[in-house]
Chain A
Amino acid sequence: MATTLPARQTPHATGRAGSAEPVHRADVAVDAASGMLTGVDLAVRTAGLTKRFRSGQVAVDGIDLEVPRGSVYGFLGPNGSGKTTTIRMLLGLVGPTDGRAWLLGEPMPDAAARVLPRVGVLVEGPAFQPYLSGAANLARLDAADATADPRTSRRRTGDALERVGLAAAARKPYRQYSLGMKQRLGLAAALLRPRDLLVLDEPTNGLDPQGTREVRHLVRELADAGTTVLVSSHLLTEIEQVCSHIGIMSRGRLLAQGERSVLTDARPARVVVTTTVADADRAAAVLGSLGLVDVVRDGAVLEAALGTPPETVSAALVGAGVPLLGLEVRRPSLEQLFVTLTGEGFDVAR
């Protein structure tokens, strides 16, 4: 898919990205501006967040993240694009060299003690004490939470394990877990108590297709209940379907963010017309007369940038007596959007 994209779209896209003006959803920007300076209507907000490591490498380069409350925000980018460093800064694990961050309207890391109990996290893969069982590991994390009620600890750990399908392996030592089970235990830890925000870094890593589907199901279920979910992935297709909002990172910069449909609709759709080989020339002429540009002919199949409503195209073709065997409107996929923004394949490491 990526390689068939017309190359000349790329300069246009990079020009857009290079203008340092990410695609913003207007009402979110207004929310941020009209709300208090801390961005109370955004579950996650950063302003010029930057991390320069001592090696001189700029892992995160002045990003302005805006995750509206109640959204499922897909935080996308290749491995090494700065997603995990951003998440670590959001959680106060790594200090930013510049810029600020707010979680649930409160500044981080200053408000960590107040905010983080309401935030469930999975950061860069699960990590637990290898010699403790899954249940004991969750009990340990719960004991570390100064705001968790010890009386309900047992029930909550049990429920969390149940929820990710690990109840049967609750007493097994963590080191005997398979990669998929470890990932599930990580999710269970994030669900130890009701959360307002879930930050899930690569939650589908190591899961089989069935497990990946379950994670999507879980994310959707949580989002339906009102939890904001920030989910990062380098595998676009795995989370694309559940996201209401998208942010795309590459080389430490946030190239685009906003509502998913707005982002993809901002790109021109293409129309694909199938007719007979004999009528293809006439069809091309009709498309040209409609003012469609970028017409590409391949035997009986014609492709053009869609500048008019598709029903106009079909009516004009039928009106001109062209046998219309098929007409398809191709909306640009997120992957195409990504490729046009970054000029590279999706799964490219830095």
Chain B
Amino acid sequence: MSLADAAVPTAAMPSGSATHAAAPTRVRGAWGRLLRSELRLVFGRRRNIALLVGLACVPLLLGTVLFVTRDSALGGQGPGFISRVTENGLFLVVAALFMCLPFLLPLTTGIASGDAIAGEAQAGTLRYLLAVPVSRARLLGIKALATLAYVACAVLAIAVVAFVVGAVMFGVGDVTLLSGTTVPVADGVLRIAGVAAYVALSLTGLVAVGLFLSTLTEVPVGAMAGTVVVAIVSAVLDTLPQLAVIHPGLLTHHWLDFAEFLRLEVGWGVLGQGLAVQAAWVAVFGALAWSRFTTADVTS
């Protein structure tokens, strides 16, 4: 290491000559500065970018498969919205989100939220951030915002790529709704945007769960896996009729309600219920994460 020979330059910077300096004052825009730094960290990380690229490939692959098979006997088959894609490219957005929702999006959410605190703890950078100092509540808030931004970006990546691929391969026209009514293309695009927004908001509860798990451990993979397990268990419980009584409160129960946007009369009440459940999960697990993180000993 050639640097070992480097002499320490003297007086390169003003040193701590003020022995009784007044308490430093807060600079305006400090929140924004840290948030920008956090976003750069999250979106600059190669793993996170690769994940976004992977998600963006889903509509590309799906579109290609449907395009190649559209004139064969298999054309027009498939669950839900997939059969409609060849008629109208806009439906590729819905179909791609529908395919990613059970596993890929929870996985993405788990990775981003599970890493938030536990990743810093594992790297040891958490103690240095807190000693800067960053208040724990503020750090948790910044981490939550950056995670939400990343998850929103993941949904957006799927939706935008699906929109482009759908438009190029199948064209975009007036949208035939679930009830059979046709609405103009501008209305259709708005409805599809509503679907994407609802899907993104549906993941906020899971973000809160992931953040909470992330405050419990110094092993980010554990928090990530735990978050995915929560989503899967919720989906499994949702299929058991014996547990019907708890279904409305389950994290994943309302996830597929985005279909409301494809009805002639959008069921705002149903959508509101879904968002209310997410808000409840955010409130409970956000509070748990806060109480845990603001009191825990940082020994990492």
Contacts and interface: CB of A to CB of B under 8 A. Distances in A.
Interface stretch (A24-32, A221-229, A270-278): A221-229
Contact of A88 (B29, B44, B45, B298): B298
A70 B19 CA distance: 8
Interface stretch (A129-137, A253-261, A283-291, A322-330): A129-137
A144 B124 contact: no
A91 interface: yes
Contact of B19 (A69, A91, A217): A69
Contacts of A139: 37
A127 B124 contact: yes
A227 B20 CA distance: 10
Given A116-B132, A123-B131, A222 B123 contact: no
B128 interface: yes
Contact of B3 (A70, A131, A180, A222): A180
B128 A123 contact: yes
Interface string A191-215: 1001110100000000010110010
B16 A195 contact: yes
A330 B15 CA distance: 38
Interface in B14-35: 14-21, 23-27, 29-31, 33-34
Contact of B297 (A95, A121, A131): A95
Contact of A221 (B10, B14, B34, B128): B10
B37 A156 contact: no
Contacts of A184: 3
A37 interface: no
Contacts of A140: 37, 41
Nearest to A115: B23
A184 B37 CA distance: 23
- What size tier do the contact residues of chain A reach? 35 or more
Contacts of A117: 23-24, 132-133
Interface string B151-192: 000000000000000000000000000000000000000000
B16 A225 contact: yes
Interface in A122-160: 123-125, 127-132, 139-141, 143-150, 156, 159-160
A318 interface: no
Contacts of A118: 21, 23-24
Contacts of B44: 131-132
Contacts of A217: 8
Given A129-B123, A181-B1, A143 B8 contact: no
B8 A141 contact: no
Nearest to B25: A147
Contacts of B46: 131
A121 B3 contact: no
B27 A226 contact: no
Given A116-B132, A144-B134, A221 B15 contact: yes
Contacts of B129: 141, 144
Given A129-B123, A132-B41, A147-B24, A196 B131 contact: no
B7 interface: yes
Contact of B14 (A69, A125, A194): A194
Interface in B91-130: 123-125, 127-130
A116 B131 contact: yes
Contacts of A150: 27, 29, 33
A218 interface: yes
A163 B9 contact: yes
Given A93-B130, A94-B299, A145-B132, A165 B8 contact: yes
A228 B128 CA distance: 20
B18 A196 contact: yes
A168 B3 contact: yes
A166 interface: yes
Contacts of B2: 168
A208 B6 CA distance: 13
A160 B297 CA distance: 30
A70 B16 CA distance: 11
B128 A141 contact: yes
B13 interface: yes
A222 B16 contact: yes
Contacts of B12: 159, 162-163
Nearest to A178: B1
Interface of B: 1-10, 12-21, 23-27, 29-31, 33-34, 36-37, 41, 44-46, 123-125, 127-135, 295, 297-299
9 contacts: A70-B19, A93-B130, A93-B299, A123-B127, A123-B131, A129-B125, A165-B3, A165-B9, A169-B3
Given A127-B124, A194-B21, A226-B16, 5 more contacts: A112-B133, A121-B131, A144-B37, A194-B14, A208-B1
Interface of A: 69-70, 88, 91-95, 112-119, 121, 123-125, 127-132, 139-141, 143-150, 156, 159-160, 162-166, 168-169, 178, 180-181, 184, 189, 191, 194-196, 198, 208, 210-211, 214, 217-218, 221-222, 225-228
